[in-house]
Structure formats: C-alpha cells, structure tokens
Amino acid sequence: MSSSSPAQGLGQRERLVLVLIGVVLAAAVFWLRGGLKPQAPLDALARRSPELSVALANGRPTLVEFYADWCEACRAMAPAMDSLERHYRGELDLVLLNVDNPRWQPELERYAVNGIPQLELFNGAGQPVGRSIGARSAEELEALAQALTQGTNLPVLAGVGAVSPLTAAEAQPAAGDATPGTMAGPRSHG
C-alpha cells in the first residue's frame, strides 16, 4: 500500500501547476523585455558615464550630452558616441545626462538646455569652451573630440559655437526679457 493520501497528491499537482505558471510568466517577461539582445548603445554609454563633477575635475576634456531615450537623433548618434568613448578612453570623458531624470534639473537650467541632443564641451580645466545643438554625424563628433583632446579651436560646424563666461550683470535678464523659468524645456518640442 502506498502511504500517500489523495490530499497529498492534490497538493503536489497544485505545486506543479504553480511552478509551470511561474515559468510561463518568467518567459513572458523575458520575451517582452527583449530577450538576450545586447543593451542599446545609449543605455550602455550612460551607465559607463562618469559623474559630471568628477569628469570636470579630473584634468581631461569633457563632452556632455543631454539626451533622452525617446530622442531619435540621440539614438542615431549613440553608436558614434560609443565609438568615441572607446577610442578616446583616458583622454576624453563622455558624460550622458538624461533630460527626463529629475536629478539633472539643475544642470538643465545651468546649461540652458532647451532642445536635444545638446552637447556641452569643456577643456581639461573643466571650463566651458563650446556648445553643439542638434544631431551630429560620426565625422563631426570625431572633429569635436579631436579639438577637445588637442586643445585646438572647435571645428566650424552649423549649430556649434564657442562659449564665454558671463559676468553676474550680464547673466541677469533685462527688464521685460523672458526669465529662465519661462523658457521652453527640452521636452517641449514633443
């Protein structure tokens, strides 16, 4: 005679059904999240990116990209940015700041980000030397990286300009001018 009762057999079947349901749910979540595909270059770059304060203080020039996961131009630039990061590792810091992350709101305001992608360019002393607004080709990004690492003038490209420090009086809006709080935000262009 068997020592198992019908109640014990029913419990085992229920456990087996629960295990099968768990396996099916885990497989569904795995499939919905993209399976084993490699991480997108933009995500990988952002995760490897040093903290902005560290990058600006370590003696290397820095290229900061303000981006968003939903930004087509940002995603299109990601492979070239990844290539730059690998090629200039140890010579140039690439820092990615997601405009949708509230943690970076002070930086969005400080660098007047009102569209993406926006690149902020810094020399080895952490001083701003230029800004690039809009999508950049791999060749343009390479030219910017070369200028930063060699300490030469930025290339002449549409949407790229040098920056100069403002005095406190120059930084204050004139009477009747829009205040920084009323400017369009980087996510306002939809």
Q: Which one-letter amino acid corresponds to residue 156? A: V
Q: Which residues pair with 118 in a beta bridge?
A: 66, 133
Domain tally for the chain?
A: 2
Let me know: does 122 contact 64? Beta carbons within 8 Å: yes
15 lies in the same domain as 48: no
Residue 54 has pLDDT above 90, yes or no: yes
Residue 161 has pLDDT above 90, yes or no: no
- Give a yes or no: residue 155 inside a domain: yes
Return the higher-pLDDT residue of 42 and 36.
42
pLDDT bracket for residue 76 (50, 70, 90): very high
Residue 81 has pLDDT above 90, yes or no: yes
Average pLDDT over residues 69-93: 94
Cβ neighbours of residue 177 closer than 8 Å, sequence gap 6 or more: none
pLDDT bracket for residue 61 (50, 70, 90): very high
Return the higher-pLDDT residue of 114 and 41.
114
- Give a yes or no: residue 174 inside a domain: no
Q: Which one-letter amino acid corresponds to residue 63? A: L
Residues recognised as catalytic: 71, 74
Name the least confident of 26-35, 37-46, 86-95.
26-35
pLDDT bracket for residue 173 (50, 70, 90): very low
57 lies in the same domain as 82: yes
86 lies in the same domain as 150: yes
85 lies in the same domain as 123: yes
Quote the pLDDT of residue 180: 42
pTM of the model: 0.67
Among 114, 105, 146, residue whose Cα is nearest residue 133? 114
13 lies in the same domain as 75: no
